[in-house]
Amino acid sequence: MPVGSVYLRRQDGAWVLSLVGEHDLTTQSMLTDQIRRLTNTGDGLVVDLRQAEFIDSTVIHALRAAHAEADGGKPDRFAIVVRIGATASRVVSLVGLDRVIPAFEHLETAIRTVTARSPQDVDDGVYGRSPLSAS
């Protein structure tokens, strides 16, 4: 299995960490370190899974753990983005990660959510919950 790539950039006041390709135990440690470093900045973090072809349980665990310890207990500064119908999206939904971490289909919405200072700062009513798992 080829090793996936991770790309980091700033966009509209948030960190965006994009996973491309296949991610498993071989990238989990680097991913965990990178996420921990970014969540400790106090800025919002969006993990973009739209180009992830495969993520395994070690990556799911890393995301869940990072969300739990995000910025001294401010998990609303952490979100994920998935492409509906993609493998990563199905895994996120199957294991219930989208019920723990706010998950979005659009990067811009995720960024607005993690950079919002209050629910009123987000005009589409998705602050504090995942629109992918909403019924």
- Parse the chain into domains and list their residue ranges: 5-121
d(CA 85, CA 51): 12
Query: What local confidence, expressed as pLDDT, does residue 112 receive?
Result: 96
Average pLDDT of 36-53?
92
**pLDDT band with cut points at 50, 70 and 90 for residue 133:** low
Query: What do you get for the CA distance between the two ends of the chain, in Å?
Result: 36
Alpha-carbon torsion, ordered 28, 34, 39, 42, to 10 deg = 180
What are 70-110's pLDDT values in tens digits?
756 566 889 999 999 999 999 999 999 999 999 999 999 99
Instruction: Give the residue with greater pLDDT, 134 vs 69.
Output: 69
DSSP classification of residue 73: T
Percent of the chain, pLDDT > 70? Answer: 81
- If one counts every other C-beta atom within 10 angstroms of the C-beta of residue 59, the result is 26
Instruction: Give the residue with greater pLDDT, 41 vs 106.
Output: 106
d(CA 65, CA 45): 14
Query: What local confidence, expressed as pLDDT, does residue 67 receive?
Result: 87
Dihedral sign of CA atoms 76, 35, 23, 5 in order: positive
What are 2-18's pLDDT values in tens digits?
679 999 999 999 999 99
Give the H/E segment covering residue 59: helix 57-68
Q: Is the pLDDT of residue 122 over 90?
A: no
d(CA 11, CA 38): 14
d(CA 91, CA 53): 11
Q: Is the pLDDT of residue 129 over 60?
A: no
Query: Of 27-31, 73-77, 122-126, which gets the smallest average pLDDT?
Result: 122-126
Per DSSP, the three-state class of 91 is helix
Tokens 């723990």 belong to 100
Residue type, 53: E
Domain 5-121: assigned CATH number = 3.30.750.24
Q: Structure pTM?
A: 0.85
